[in-house]
Amino acid sequence: MNTRHFLTLLDLSPDELGALIVRAIELKAIQKKRDLYEPLKNRVLAMVFEKSSTRTRVSFETGMVQLGGYAMFLSPRDTQLGRGEPVEDTARVLSRMADIIMIRTFSHEKIELFAEYSRVPVINALTDMYHPCQLLADIQTFVEHRGSIRGKSVAWIGDGNNMCHSYINAARQFGFHLRIACPEGYDPNADLLAGASDYAEIIRNPREAASGADLIVTDVWASMGQEEEQANREKAFADYQVNATLMSEAATDALFMHCLPAHRGEEVTAEVIDGPQSVTWDEAENRLHAQKALLEFLLV
Ligand code: CP
Ligand code: NVA
């Protein structure tokens, strides 16, 4: 049997992704009723974090406990991976002990290599290239507030980064139209965009991109690993802030999302992220429910 991994949204079919969102909403209802549902008794998730995290760690750890299993946090500071043990060897060994592995790292090639040598499913918990788990939560949140996202207009305002790349894949898989407003020099990957050309396009002007949109999304201007570029990026992205003026270009019932952590006064104003159109806190909570659906899909 081929081991299924979740390295990008393209690893699941559109039907599988749709079912996963439905299941995430069901699992959320089960949890709200405090009904016990423990299909992962004695199953172990190994969580490898080479970058910081609040939401991803807490949601996976909480999710595994709620499903009856256990989650183990592994940092490069105290594993041999951090001292140079080859990725292939770490993958071989971890996957003989843990039932499923989650990794947050820098290069996407590293997680691909890890998955190649793993006997158990590997989940991408963010690389420099993609953040697919966040998109499961974002789509769940849109569906809960507005129904199906198929055919809707989504505006990505800001950096052509890992989140933007996962939005491009999501546009393809969930069938929405994505308009990307990014300054020149900060475009998303050209090949990825070309592969989704029926669904996603670059519209440089943020007002044009936001016009009539059903959902406005942004993210930090400097991602993890780009801290030294912060000052240059603040200049390059100065016209790409999501503020009340930009929100007024969108549909009157448009939602606002941000994967967090946010920098108020940079990519988004406090008025917007803390305002009535923001569903950011539901979006953060849904990391838990969507990933429980993913763990169930990959393990049960
Ligand atoms: N959105 C997200 O992945 O948050 P963390 O970096 O806190 O995990
Ligand atoms: N683009 C951000 C997302 C953080 C969840 C980063 O990579 O730092």
The answer to whether residue 1 sits within a structural domain is: no
Mean local confidence (pLDDT), 106-117: 98
- Cβ burial of 238 (10 Å; 0-12, 13-18, 19+) is exposed
Mean local confidence (pLDDT), 106-124: 98
The whole domain housing 72 covers 9-130+284-299
Q: What would the pLDDT profile of 223-263 be if each residue is shown by its tens digit?
A: 999 999 999 999 999 999 999 999 999 999 999 999 999 99
Same domain, 152 and 248: yes
Mean local confidence (pLDDT), 266-287: 98
The answer on pLDDT for 2 being more than 90 is: no
Same domain, 178 and 139: yes
Mean local confidence (pLDDT), 161-176: 98
Same domain, 156 and 104: no
Q: What would the pLDDT profile of 38-78 be if each residue is shown by its tens digit?
A: 999 999 999 999 999 999 999 999 999 999 999 999 999 99
Q: Cα–Cα distance between 223 and 205 in angstroms, integer?
A: 22
The answer to whether residue 155 sits within a structural domain is: yes
Question: Going by CA atoms, what residue is nearest to atom 3 of ligand 2?
Answer: 223
Q: Tell me the pTM.
A: 0.98
Same domain, 266 and 294: no
pLDDT at 253: 98
**What's the whole-number average pLDDT of the chain?**
98
The answer on pLDDT for 288 being more than 90 is: yes
Q: State the amino acid at position 253 in one-letter form.
A: D
| Number of domains observed in the structure of the chain | 2
Q: Which long-range contacts (CB under 8 A, 24 or more apart) does 13-22 make?
A: 14/173, 14/174, 14/175, 16/297, 17/136, 17/139, 17/173, 17/174, 18/174, 20/136, 20/290, 20/293, 20/294, 20/297, 21/136, 21/139, 21/140, 21/143, 21/290, 21/293
Is the CB–ligand 2 distance for residue 220 below 6 Å? Answer: yes
Same domain, 65 and 139: no
For residues 33-50, one letter each, b for 16 or more C-beta atoms within 10 angstroms of the residue's C-beta and e for the rest, the string is eeeeeeebeebbbbbbbb
pLDDT at 205: 98
The answer to whether residue 4 sits within a structural domain is: no
Which residues belong to the active site? 104, 131, 134, 219, 259, 287
What does each C-alpha distance from 52 to 73, 119, 230, 286 come to in angstroms? Answer: 12, 26, 17, 19
Closest-lying ligand 2 atom to the alpha carbon of residue 222: 8
High-pLDDT (> 90) share of the chain, %? 99
Cα-trace Rg, the chain: 19
Ligand 1 center–CA 135 separation, angstroms: 12
Nearest residue to 13 (alpha-carbon basis) of 297, 300, 299: 297
Same domain, 188 and 111: no
Same domain, 141 and 236: yes
Closest-lying ligand 1 atom to the alpha carbon of residue 56: 8
Tokens standing for residue 188: 């998303």
The answer on pLDDT for 1 being more than 70 is: no
Same domain, 144 and 261: yes
**CATH code, domain carrying 120:** 3.40.50.1370
Q: What would the pLDDT profile of 177-216 be if each residue is shown by its tens digit?
A: 999 999 999 999 999 999 999 999 999 999 999 999 999 9
The answer to whether residue 74 sits within a structural domain is: yes
Is the CB–ligand 2 distance for residue 163 below 6 Å? Answer: yes
Same domain, 264 and 291: no
